[in-house]
Structure 1
Amino acid sequence: MAVVATMYVNSRHAAPLCRSWLLAGRRLFSASAPASGLRVLFFGSDDFADRVLRALEEDRTGTHPYIDHLEVVCPKSNYKMKGTKKIMLYQSPVEKLAIKKGLIAHHPFGSSLSNWMIPLFDGGRTHGSFDIGIVASFGHFLPGRIIRGFPRGMINVHPSLLPKYRGPSPIQTTMLNGDKTTGLTIQEVHPTVIDGGKILAQAPYPIAENSPYGQLVSEMGDLGGELTMKVLRDLSRVRELSVEQDGSQATHTRFFRREDAHIVWEEMTAEDIFRVHRTFYEKEPVHTCMRIKNKVKWVQFLELSVAPQSIAPLNADFASFPPGSVFWAKKVPYVEIACLGGSRIHATRFRVSGKAERDTFQFISGYVKGWKDMRMITRPIQTKHLTPPFAYPEGYTRPTSFTDAYGEGASRSDYCAKLAARRTDKDPGYGLGDDGLEKKHYHKFSKDNSKKESDDD
């Protein structure tokens, strides 16, 4: 898209980052900003939206502000009563920032905005209306009636290079697919197609190797805030040069659930498991099952890494064991687990259902020590029967040695690509939650959830 404003990051770690703004060889953004006085209503909910909102607030309180007034629309906080005490269950990052900065926060009711009205400017104390609406990971579909309610329309800050990765979880899908580059798009809010509006500006951004989800969200949010302010300061010019999206090239993302962090030993390599860990660990750590005597317990891996090829396996004959097999050694600070294709993961922190976190030595002492040839399993089984033999994928060739496991013939899995590409039954993008990660699907293991799985140790 040669006519779209593009930001190229020359050095990821430069401080500040060196960037250039190009438009088919011509400068797009004006060197000087027009007169201030913009009144903005910001729609957002999650950590990505929080970083964008920070950039808008910094401009409003700066020495030469372009934004004169700023208010937010975000999900309402959830509370529960414990006796006479009110306990906070959930409060969106955007609302927390609004309270901290003294911004007026409005809350839509229900899961739809069909009957919601744009609030009065400054709570009705000042005559006038908002000039523009800015959306970032809001979580609700915005009907045309609301879009038309702003004289300067509405723009959306989306963390992908549209039309790629439309929908609620572009950052998670990017990480699961193993993409090396992602980006930001500023687009017009479309009244009928989620993330389908005209593109105003785009900014490609490289992904640091092994960067966790939280770090990428913060970086993308900061980039989104910076790009949003540049677009606002020259909005008329940017809109003149906007381009339509090519719908035929669109790809869609979906909601991710708790079960997406479940390890499928029959399909996943160590790299697959590590990608899922990087993507979901802050909400729901990767988890699997293990059998202890006549009980099946769920176990989460809170810290893990892919075993480097330079480190020899704890068991020289590990290639003859099926994926999920657990190995440990005295004074070694990790548990090694075999994966598909002869790969291995090293786990260092664990949580067994109903129990507190454990390090490697505590986990070995309580659950592994004394058990020979222990194997993790994908799903719970009837404990009255023997653990069934491992079912290898059709056409899979087992490595015969450590050398063979890391040779060119080693099998690879495309589990993460399949996970990211799965579709929901309903139209992608409707009823969006916090960047696709709905809080109710990401709860900690607790004694209430595992009374039948109490520990023996």
Structure 2
Amino acid sequence: MGTPEFAVPALEALHDAAHEIVCVYTQPPRPAGRGKKLQPSPVHKTAERLGIEVRHPVSLKSLEEQEKFAALGADVAVVAAYGLILPQPILDAPEHGCINIHASILPRWRGAAPIHRAILAGDAVTGVTIMQMEAGLDTGPMLAMVRTPIEDKTTGELTEELAELGAQLMVGTLRDLAIHVPVAQDDEDATYAPKIDKAEARIDWSKPAEEIERLARGLAPFPGAWFEMDGVNGPERVKLLRAEVTEGSGDAGTVLDEDFAIACGTGSIRPVRLQRAGKPAMDRADFLRGKPVNKGVVLPNRKA
């Protein structure tokens, strides 16, 4: 039971490990691309390629859908970024219940955006937790865990890494499921990872340089931290996909040199990778070659 690219390695790993996958559940096809044609999810495409039955109900709340799920007679349901709430009858149907691949070290970062939030918070380490699902939001007992350093990884890079780690950890967990003793989470240590709000993506130059650097990595590649600068036809939105903290100070949002150092509330950052609206991402040197930014330019700041 999964939907985005994050869930694909788990599906492939379970298939490669010779598990009998009786069915794949994913979210319904969504309009995408210029023509807004309905596009199946990455998991849907992978399941079809592997010759596995695919179901994509809008909801699992109806008695009919719950009975269809129970009729599969599954030993266990593996869940990875499915995106639908699982009612109690779904959680109870498989013999060994529903087991989730969650991209954090629980109970830290329960919720929808654990990878983004770990980077934004400046965590040094994150990981994957295999968890027995229950009705609460990522509150179930833990079966296995693996850790990895965050370092200077973007959300995109970390998502790929954790997807692979989670896939292999799930295969290992299912191989010896009987020996994995469930460990209860300590609710007092819980933190929550809400979805990224659009307002968070606009850069506030009055923030510290370190925070803006994390914002760039934490929102790359999507939705992308962004700022405005003067363009040919007025203000132009530019995404900051990666930056480095550098020396220099000045009024927040002021360009400090010809190599695009930008003053922040404390310290300064230098863009490493940027993307203009409708254009491909590019390194700073290529960006400045096409559009030099003069020392002393003041970039508009986010309004409070």
Shorter-normalised TM-score: what interval? 0.7 to 0.9
- Once the two structures are TM-superposed, the CA of residue 147 in structure 1 deviates from its matched residue by 1.3
Q: Give the AA of the match of 1:95.
A: H
Given the superposition, is the C-alpha separation of residues 88 and 292 from structure 1 closer, same or farther in structure 2, using an over 3 Å criterion?
Answer: closer
- Once the two structures are TM-superposed, the CA of residue 155 in structure 1 deviates from its matched residue by 1.0
Taking the aligned partners of 1:344 and 1:215, their CA distance within structure 2 comes to 21
Match of 2:116 in 1: 172
Given the superposition, is the C-alpha separation of residues 292 and 188 from structure 1 closer, same or farther in structure 2, using an over 3 Å criterion?
Answer: closer
2:7 is aligned with 1:49: yes
Identity %: 30
Structure with larger RCO (C-alpha < 8 A, sep 6+) = 1
Q: Give the AA of the match of 2:27.
A: P
Q: How does 1:432-451 map to 2 (within 5 A)?
A: none
- Once the two structures are TM-superposed, the CA of residue 106 in structure 1 deviates from its matched residue by 0.7
2:268 is aligned with 1:340: no
Q: Give the AA of the match of 2:253.
A: G
Q: Deviations over 1:162-191 (max 9, x none)?
A: 11111111111111111111122111110x
Taking the aligned partners of 1:236 and 1:180, their CA distance within structure 2 comes to 32
Q: Deviations over 1:230-277 (max 9, x none)?
A: 221222232xx22222222211110112322210112x2222222111
- Contact 2:213 2:245 (8 Å CA) reproduced: no
Given the superposition, is the C-alpha separation of residues 272 and 146 from structure 1 closer, same or farther in structure 2, using an over 3 Å criterion?
Answer: same
- Once the two structures are TM-superposed, the CA of residue 196 in structure 1 deviates from its matched residue by 1.0
Match of 1:145 in 2: 89
Taking the aligned partners of 2:42 and 2:9, their CA distance within structure 1 comes to 9
Structure 2 unaligned residues grouped into runs of 5+ = none
2:210 is aligned with 1:271: yes
Given the superposition, is the C-alpha separation of residues 271 and 108 from structure 1 closer, same or farther in structure 2, using an over 3 Å criterion?
Answer: same
Greater Rg by CA: 1
Taking the aligned partners of 2:51 and 2:301, their CA distance within structure 1 comes to 49
Q: For this pair of structures, how many residues does the alignment match?
A: 298
Q: Deviations over 1:120-157 (max 9, x none)?
A: 69xx9xxx622211111111111111112212211111
Given the superposition, is the C-alpha separation of residues 113 and 340 from structure 1 closer, same or farther in structure 2, using an over 3 Å criterion?
Answer: same
Match of 2:176 in 1: 234
**Residue 114 of structure 1: which of 54, 61, 80 is its match?**
61
- Contact 1:322 1:338 (8 Å CA) reproduced: yes
- Contact 1:348 1:360 (8 Å CA) reproduced: no
TM value normalised by structure 1 = 0.59
- Once the two structures are TM-superposed, the CA of residue 48 in structure 1 deviates from its matched residue by 1.8
Given the superposition, is the C-alpha separation of residues 220 and 113 from structure 1 closer, same or farther in structure 2, using an over 3 Å criterion?
Answer: same
Given the superposition, is the C-alpha separation of residues 74 and 308 from structure 1 closer, same or farther in structure 2, using an over 3 Å criterion?
Answer: same
Aligned CA-pair RMSD: 2.9
2:302 is aligned with 1:359: no
Structure 1 unaligned residues grouped into runs of 5+ = 1-42, 61-66, 310-317, 381-390, 392-457
Q: How does 1:369-384 map to 2 (within 5 A)?
A: 373-379=296-302
Match of 2:138 in 1: 195
Match of 1:255 in 2: 195
- Contact 2:204 2:301 (8 Å CA) reproduced: yes
- Contact 1:276 1:286 (8 Å CA) reproduced: yes
